[in-house]
Chain A
Amino acid sequence: MAGPENNFGVETTVLGAEEIILNMGPQHPSTHGVLRVKLRLDGEKVVGSECIIGYLHRGVEKIGENRTYPQFAPYVDRTDYVAAVSNGLGYCEAVEKLLGVEAPPRARWVRTILTELQRIASHLLWLGTHALDIGAITPLFYTFREREEILKIYEKYCGARLTTHAFRIGGLQYETYDGFEQDVKEFCRDFNHRVDEYEELLTNNRIWVERTRNIGVLTGEQCIALGVSGPILRGSGVRWDIRKAFPYAAYKEFEFDIPIGHTGDTYDRYRVRLEEMRQSRRIILQAVESIPEGPILARVGKVIKPPPGEVYHSIEAPKGELGYYLVSDGTTQPYRLRIRPPSFVNLQALDAMIKGHLVADVVAIIGTIDIVLGEVDR
């Protein structure tokens, strides 16, 4: 009697329990841009994944081959657009190396200060959004409060807040403004206390610890095999930082420590980045006390025409190793300009990190890698 037409609209077929494919993104708030991740799920558990990227590809490297060296400098700000100053430093130093010149000490000191401020700003943005992804809304307001102070310093220095184009090949375009040292010191004065505030909100917060401990574990060997650099590598216990391994700008002159983690999970990476902010403050304070007098721009000539040859120069950007590989054929434009983006290479580790975790953890793990799609896709 109880035929299918007589079941009062209740579906009687049994739903399958086989694996399903779930698309996350490209329009998804927790993917921090236009990242698309195809997840293969067994229930709520991730059994496989594939990243689909390229939605923001603008052909930056091709553009670079068709611009002169100085013309290209503003473009690098738009790769990792939340750490524009760091990109600018890497590019300018790469061209300087290609030319065989070095920026004068004063320029190197100011570059160091601005770049370390940028590291703090980038980590603050990461912390706020990462916590927001996991469900803690409050830290975002605190971190943006401090980040705003850094952006104000940039605005006063060069008129721009995000895509700053702060440096020039050979040094700096602008002398520091009156009260620059004052502003920087003012920012540093309370900053450690501010980091303590974030820690108060998160470090011993049971929800935070449960959501991050043993989530997305990478061992040091895995990191090295996958080319992962930056805070993720250090979170896995490898004490390696380009500022120490191949010092650039003025880092040789300052004392600072490289924090590392032990288990290589999301929680360790969180601790590493927080400590990095404190260390950045330490560098800034030493640098701002000792800015040398002198010229801010080396003699590089009006037309920048590096002799034929090639150079690879990398810096410790907030997200990892940011490298520029330039090939000169002796003209005013690079023959080949390659950007080695930390986010692109680090994102490759996502698959290894999310396997076996739940869908909700994928959000936490994308946050902990700290990617910027402008840099992944270029």
Chain B
Amino acid sequence: MGDEEKKPEPKPAAPAPPAKSAAPAKPAVGPEPLDDELVRRLRVRFAEAIGETTRDRGQAIVVVRDRVLEVCEYLKTEERFDFLTDLTAVDWYERQPRFDVILNLYSFPHNRRLRVKAPVNDACPSVSRIWPAANWLERECYDMFGIRFEGHPNLKRILMPDEWKGHPLRKDYDILKQDTDWIRENIGIESGQ
């Protein structure tokens, strides 16, 4: 601990994996391009705002580079993705834009799931007006990653203390890192470790 200023490593404590152990013959799994009716409709309507579309392990993923709100509005009203199952983010700290905001959508009428990925730097339009369920999920995402959701009615921390500094799920936030000032002030000990 204490060396959090060092260049961040995605896997700080990765044990050296044993060299190529007897891997069983497994079916090839991984992303493959996706081009179905829904994707075509999206492309016609939103053109270059729609990035790559893939199918990974049988699950549809659509990258939305731009006009996130419009695409979401369309998905909800026209394509009937009425249920926002989950909203979270992934930190690709070397990439530009740095984060992927992930929306897991579900459609009750079509019994179908769709994952929308919006690459953003540190600000993303809030979808909480489209799916009220996003309210807490976006707050958690802001808390953990520091992504500002513009237009959110009450964007503040939800799991960490309000005065905490830093966003723990960022890749450059070491697992042993903590807000020592906060801990000293509020718990009266030197370290939470």
Contact = CB atoms under 8 A, between A and B. Distances in A.
A and B associate in one complex: yes
Given A53-B158, A54-B160, A325-B86, A309 B29 contact: yes
A166 to B, nearest CB: 23
Interface of B: 10-15, 17-18, 21-24, 26-31, 56-57, 59, 61, 82-86, 88, 90-91, 102, 104, 108, 111, 113, 115, 131-133, 135-137, 140, 144, 157-161, 168-169, 173, 175
Interface in A105-127: none
A57 interface: yes
A363 B184 CA distance: 35
Interface of A: 53-54, 57, 59, 61-63, 65-66, 68, 97-101, 224-228, 238, 240, 245, 299-303, 305, 307-312, 314, 321, 323, 325, 327, 329, 331-333, 335-336, 338, 340, 344-345, 347-348, 377-378
A329 B10 contact: yes
A101 B26 contact: yes
8 smallest beta-carbon distances between A and B, as pairs: A227-B133, A100-B29, A54-B159, A299-B24, A340-B86, A57-B159, A338-B88, A336-B90
Contacts of B14: 331-333
A308 B88 CA distance: 19
B2 to A, nearest CB: 17
Contacts of A312: 59, 86, 104, 113, 115
A227 B131 contact: yes
Contact of B86 (A301, A327, A338): A338
B30 A377 contact: no
Contacts of A377: 159
B169 A240 contact: no
22 contacts: A61-B169, A62-B169, A98-B29, A100-B27, A100-B57, A224-B82, A224-B108, A227-B85, A227-B133, A228-B133, A240-B108, A303-B18, A307-B28, A311-B56, A312-B104, A335-B90, A336-B90, A338-B86, A340-B86, A345-B133, A345-B136, A348-B136
A224 B130 CA distance: 12
A335 B94 CA distance: 14
Contact of A54 (B30, B133, B158): B158
A2 B148 CA distance: 62
Given A63-B175, A338-B86, A98 B57 contact: yes
A347 B59 CA distance: 28
B133 A66 contact: no
Mostly, the B contact residues are loop
A301 B102 CA distance: 31
Nearest to A341: B86
Contacts of B15: 68, 332
Contacts of A338: 86, 88, 102
Given A54-B159, A100-B57, A331 B17 contact: yes
B29 A307 contact: yes
B61 to A, nearest CB: 8
B1 to A, nearest CB: 13
Given A312-B113, A345-B137, A54 B10 contact: no
Contacts of B108: 224, 238, 240
Contacts of B31: 309
A348 B57 contact: no
A348 B135 contact: yes
A348 B113 CA distance: 22
A177 to B, nearest CB: 28
A63 B28 CA distance: 29
Nearest to B32: A309
Given A61-B144, A65-B11, A225-B131, 9 more contacts: A53-B158, A62-B173, A100-B26, A100-B28, A101-B26, A245-B111, A311-B56, A312-B104, A312-B115
B52 to A, nearest CB: 13
B21 A302 contact: yes
Nearest to B86: A340
A377 B57 CA distance: 29
Nearest to B144: A61
A343 to B, nearest CB: 11
A335 B31 CA distance: 16
A80 B14 CA distance: 27
A344 B85 contact: no
A238 to B, nearest CB: 8
B167 to A, nearest CB: 11
A60 to B, nearest CB: 11
Contacts of A305: 17, 23
Contact of B104 (A54, A331, A340): A340
Contacts of A302: 18, 21-22
Given A100-B29, A331-B17, A66 B104 contact: no
A309 B57 contact: yes
A319 B3 CA distance: 41
